[in-house]
Amino acid sequence: MKIVIVGAGRVGAVLAETYDAAGHDVIILDESARAFDRLPAEFRGTAVRGDGTDEDSLLRAGAADADVFLALTQGDNRNVMACQVATEKFGITNVIAKINDPVRAAAYADLGLAVLCRTTMQTEAVTAYLGLGSLGVPGVIAPTGTHHGGAQHDPLAETVDAGAAGQEA
C-alpha cells in the first residue's frame, strides 16, 4: 500500500518506520528537514520537505494516488486541512486526522474524517487502567457522517472543476 504521512514527529516517524519495514510504500512529509533525523538509517521510503496542507507540495511528493493518508502534525487545523485536501482534491478515502481538541475531533468525525484524538485516548486509557470503567471512546474515532454534513452548499460542480484544472496547471 502507498501510505502518506504528514508530520515526522514521534508518532509519524514510528509509523513511517513500521510500515516501511513491513514493505509498504511510505512517503513522509515535514516542514522541517531536521524532523527526518527521527527516521532510521535503513528507511527506504521517501522523505519530502514540504507543507502537507499545500496541494502542490503533496503532488510533488507523489501523494495524489495514496491508499492511506495520515495527518499527524502538531497542529490540529493543519491536520484537518491536509486531510480535506487529500479527500476533496485527490479522492483518497482512507484518511486519519490527528485532532487533540475533543470538540473539534467530534465535529470532524461528524463531517466525515476519521480522527485520532490524544485527549480522549489518554483519558480512556487512564480510566481503564485505574479500573474506573470505560468512557467508551475508541482509539480512532471513525467518521459518523459524510463530508459537508449534507449541507446546502452544492456548488460542487464548478469548484471541483476548478480544483481539477488547478491540479493540471
Say how many C-beta atoms besides its own lie within 10 A of residue 32's C-beta: 9
Closer residue to other proteins, CB minimum distance, 20 or 76:
76
Cell numbers linked to 27: 512517503
155 binds other proteins (CB under 8 A): yes
The count of residues interacting with other proteins (CB under 8 A) is: 37
160 binds other proteins (CB under 8 A): yes
85 binds other proteins (CB under 8 A): yes
**CB under 8 A: which stretch of 37-45, 58-66, 119-127, 154-162 binds other proteins?**
154-162
Binders of other proteins in range 95-114 (CB under 8 A): 101-104, 106-108, 110-111
Cell numbers linked to 32: 522541517
Rounded-to-integer distance, Cα 115 and Cα 113, Å: 6
Q: What are phi and psi of 8, to 5 degrees?
A: -100, 55
31: Cβ–Cβ under 8 A, 6 or more apart, which residues?
Answer: 49, 50, 51
Closer residue to other proteins, CB minimum distance, 41 or 165:
165
Exactly one of 3, 53, 68, 117 binds other proteins (CB under 8 A); that residue is 53
Residue 46's H or E segment, with its range, is: strand 46-49
30 binds other proteins (CB under 8 A): no
Closer residue to other proteins, CB minimum distance, 93 or 159:
159
Binders of other proteins in range 110-139 (CB under 8 A): 110-111
6: Cβ–Cβ under 8 A, 6 or more apart, which residues?
Answer: 12, 28, 29, 30, 52, 69, 70, 71, 72, 73, 78, 79, 82
Q: In the complex, which residues of this chain contact other proteins (CB under 8 A)?
A: 53-56, 75-78, 80-81, 84-85, 88-89, 101-104, 106-108, 110-111, 148-149, 151, 153, 155-156, 159-160, 162-163, 165-166, 168-169
